[in-house]
């Protein structure tokens, strides 16, 4: 089991991150080992609870835990004050205590929402993240960012609340729709580009083996192969990048900004296209391509990197072109609303070589416009 476990060690906390096939079966002993013996408030969504709830509830009840399950509607709109209030009413109505624990079983939506409920109820109770999407495994479940959306913007209300444990059972990915899986691969590829050239090479090898010839006309999709141990190994390697970054920079004072590679333009594209039109990972893939083009035009990276990254994104079923009809000037205006803007300057994360990025706040607007046109 030890080799499946990574550890986040920051200035304020330390917790295990486990990535393994069948990991959910080990949950009761892991909670016990952490001294978490109170009631279990299992938060999930209406898609995930019927699919994977039993794998959590059954072993916990067998081990003597009292489990209270609750599902919010699946989808981004649940990251709302309305659903947060419903969770507070459910937990306070059920006499939640500080010794209890919240389990977040689902994708990033459930993780962020349940994490924020746990951060705020009774001034904070423990949370354990049980991610079931690839995106949540490699990104959202690790690092303690929790929150909800506000009518004025995404993720604007929230708190840092580190989980006591992250348990990613990779068998849950077998039920994930292919488009959601591909969206998660964008963040895996991102981790290779920003920090781990070896991971990037492994992804190239995996793509070569698993490209689906039947789908080549639309851009081939890498489908999940249950039982191929390389998948969980690659996911663990991508998680290791996040674990390292948040251990060194828990509160995003510096290095953590690099995790936003592709997100400056990605968030703008997501917002302008209309939330739900593109999945987050799809918008990030386009954003990564644009960032790489900007870097090449500034002489920060060579054109070979741009082409290689584009080929890899395509191999994993991801887009690199803007959806039709998006206005470049409106996109550029939206990048100025990025949470990383400082003194009205956009801080771009730009690749230098595979595995290395720099942060630049001196990107001429004309180069951004040119990258959007190309």
Contact present, 18 and 165 (Cβ < 8 Å)? yes
Q: How far is CA 292 from CA 91, 301, 319, in A?
A: 46, 8, 14
Of 262 and 351, nearer to ligand NAD (C-beta) is 262
Burial class (CB in 10 A: 0-12, 13-18, 19+), 127: buried
Residue 132 binds ligand NAD, judged by CB under 6 A: yes
Binding-site size for ligand NAD (CB under 6 A) equals 30
- Residue 272's binding partner, choosing from ligand GLY, ligand NAD, none, with beta-carbon cut-off 5 to 8 A by kind? none
Q: Is 110 annotated as a binding residue?
A: yes
Of 180 and 252, nearer to ligand GLY (C-beta) is 252
- With b for 16 or more beta-carbon neighbours within 10 A and e for fewer, the 39-76 pattern comes to bbbbbbbebbbebbbebbbebbeeeebebbbbbbebeb
Q: Is 109 annotated as a binding residue?
A: yes
Contact present, 127 and 118 (Cβ < 8 Å)? yes
Clarify whether 345 is annotated catalytic: no
Rounded to 5 degrees, φ, ψ at 111 are: -60, -45
Q: Is 263 annotated as a binding residue?
A: yes
What is the CB-side half-sphere exposure of residue 189 using CA atoms within 13 A? 33
- Residue 256's binding partner, choosing from ligand NAD, ligand GLY, none, with beta-carbon cut-off 5 to 8 A by kind? ligand GLY
- Residue 135's binding partner, choosing from ligand NAD, ligand GLY, none, with beta-carbon cut-off 5 to 8 A by kind? ligand NAD
- Residue 289's binding partner, choosing from ligand NAD, ligand GLY, none, with beta-carbon cut-off 5 to 8 A by kind? none
Among the residue ranges 134-142, 268-276, 294-302, 346-354, the one whose residues contact ligand NAD (CB under 6 A): 134-142
Coil, strand or helix: which one is 249? coil
Contact present, 298 and 278 (Cβ < 8 Å)? no
Name which of residues 252 to 281 contact ligand GLY (CB under 6 A): 252, 256, 259
Q: Is 108 annotated as a binding residue?
A: yes
Could you give the string, one character per residue 280-299, with x where binding to ligand NAD holds by CB under 6 A and - elsewhere?
x-------------------
Contact present, 224 and 180 (Cβ < 8 Å)? no
Rounded to 5 degrees, φ, ψ at 320 are: -130, 0
CA distance 300 to 68: 53
Binding-site size for ligand GLY (CB under 6 A) equals 6
User: Three-class SS string for 292-330?
Assistant: HHHHHHCCCCCHHHHHHHHHHHHHCCCCCCCCCCCCHHH
Of 112 and 169, nearer to ligand GLY (C-beta) is 112
CB 236 → ligand NAD: shortest distance, Å?
18
Q: Is 307 annotated as a binding residue?
A: no
Among the residue ranges 72-80, 160-168, 251-259, 268-276, the one whose residues contact ligand GLY (CB under 6 A): 251-259
Coil, strand or helix: which one is 180? helix
Query: Which of 242, 289, 293, 314 is an active site residue?
Result: 242
The H or E element containing residue 69 is strand 67-72
Which residues, in sequence order, are CB contacts of 190 under 8 Å at separation 6+? 259, 261, 262, 284, 288
Among the residue ranges 12-20, 137-145, 264-272, 345-353, the one whose residues contact ligand GLY (CB under 6 A): 137-145
Clarify whether 260 is annotated catalytic: yes
Nearest CA to 300 out of 352, 262, 369, 346 is that of: 352
Residue 145 binds ligand NAD, judged by CB under 6 A: yes
Structure tokens given for 120: 């705020």
Of all residues in the shown chain, the one whose CB is closest to ligand NAD is 108
Which of 68, 180, 252, 255 lies at the binding interface for ligand NAD (CB under 6 A)?
180
Clarify whether 280 is annotated catalytic: yes
Which residue positions form the known binding site for NAD(+)?
108-112, 132-133, 145, 154, 172-175
Interface ranges with ligand NAD (CB under 6 A): 45, 47-48, 51, 74-76, 79, 106-110, 112, 132-133, 135-136, 139-140, 143, 145, 155, 172-173, 175-176, 180, 183, 280
| Active site residue ranges | 123, 145, 187, 242, 252, 256, 260, 263, 267, 280
Interface ranges with ligand GLY (CB under 6 A): 139, 143, 145, 252, 256, 259
């Amino acid at each position: 089991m030890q080799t499946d476990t990574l550890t986040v060690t920051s200035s304020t906390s330390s917790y295990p991150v486990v990535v393994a096939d069948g990991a959910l079966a080990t949950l009761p002993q892991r909670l016990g080992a952490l001294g978490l013996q109170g009631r279990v408030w299992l938060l999930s969504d209406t898609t995930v609870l019927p699919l994977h709830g039993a794998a959590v509830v059954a072993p916990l009840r067998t081990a003597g835990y009292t489990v209270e399950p609750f599902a919010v509607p699946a989808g981004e709109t649940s990251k709302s004050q309305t659903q947060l209030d419903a969770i507070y009413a459910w937990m306070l109505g059920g006499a939640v205590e500080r010794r209890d624990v919240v389990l977040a079983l689902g994708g990033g939506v459930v993780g962020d929402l349940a994490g924020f409920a746990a951060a705020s109820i009774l001034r904070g109770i423990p949370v354990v993240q049980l991610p079931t999407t690839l995106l949540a495994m490699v990104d959202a479940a690790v690092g303690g960012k929790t929150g909800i959306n506000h009518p004025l913007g995404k993720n604007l209300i929230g708190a840092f609340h580190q989980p006591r444990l992250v348990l990613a059972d990779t068998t849950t990915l077998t039920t994930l729709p292919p488009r959601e899986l591909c969206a998660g691969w964008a963040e895996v590829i991102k981790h290779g580009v920003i920090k781990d050239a070896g991971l990037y090479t492994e992804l190239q090898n995996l793509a070569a083996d698993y490209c689906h010839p039947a789908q080549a006309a639309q851009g081939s999709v890498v489908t999940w192969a249950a039982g191929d141990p390389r998948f969980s190994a690659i996911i663990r390697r991508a998680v290791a990048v996040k674990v390292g970054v948040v251990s060194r920079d828990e509160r995003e004072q510096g290095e953590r900004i690099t995790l936003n590679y592709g997100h400056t333009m990605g968030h703008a594209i997501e917002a302008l296209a209309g939330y739900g039109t593109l999945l987050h990972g799809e918008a990030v893939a386009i954003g990564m391509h644009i960032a790489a083009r900007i870097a090449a035009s500034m002489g920060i990276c060579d054109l070979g990197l741009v082409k290689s990254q584009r080929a890899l994104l395509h191999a994993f079923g991801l887009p690199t072109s803007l959806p039709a009809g998006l206005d470049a000037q409106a996109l550029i205006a939206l990048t100025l609303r990025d949470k990383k803007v400082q003194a009205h300057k956009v801080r771009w994360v730009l690749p230098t070589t595979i595995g290395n990025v720099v942060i630049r706040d001196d990107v001429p607007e004309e180069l951004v416009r040119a990258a959007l046109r190309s």
